[in-house]
Amino acid sequence: MKEAKFEFQYKVYDSIDELPEEQQMLLNKAKEATDKAYAPYSKFKVGAIAKLANGETISGTNQENASFPVGLCAERVLLSSLSSLYPNVGIDTIAISYKSENQVSDHPVSPCGICRQSLQEFESRVNHPIQLVLGGLTGPVYVIKSAGCLLPLAFTSEELT
């Protein structure tokens, strides 16, 4: 028997003010995007902004539905829009923020499991790592060098061949 270990490093900034200018701009746009989210049930609005490898930016917000399983997370809305508008263009950075009516948005939250799988597969498909910038409306900010770091032992298309 062998033991294996998975770990990754990420940067923790005390506030958005410590980020490089481009990351500050993206995180501020993600915060603004939360106002466009449709989250009447959870009251948890998420905004995601991507800077593409071609320099374009695109946004996504969560979209809930009274039939709960039908809702979409901001990250998957963003990836769907991107895949339609800019097929096969890599994403350099995605900034993700949230605003909740039920709690203070003062710390980063990470993408859910389905979004982690979707981000990992997109990275693999276009062969381009996606840097993540995660932050609430205030408080610390996490910068993760690749979305794939969030999904160790990922199920990939190679398992289906």
> Do 116 and 79 contact (CB within 8 A), yes or no?
no
As a whole number of angstroms, the distance between CA 24 and CA 5 comes to 33
**Residue type (1 letter), 27:** L
Quick: pLDDT tens for 130-143: 999 999 999 999 99
pTM of this structure: 0.95
DSSP element (H, E) containing 124: helix 113-126
Architecture of domain 11-151: 3-Layer(aba) Sandwich (3.40)
Quick: pLDDT tens for 57-84: 999 999 999 998 899 999 999 999 999 9
Residue 69 is predicted with a pLDDT of 84
Find the catalytic residue in 64, 75, 121, 123: 75
DSSP three-state, residue 84? helix
- Active-site residue 56, yes or no? no
Q: Pull the structure tokens for residue 3.
A: 């033991």
Domain locations in the chain?
A: 11-151
Query: Strand 91-100 to strand 131-135: parallel, antiparallel, or no bridges (unpaired)?
Result: parallel
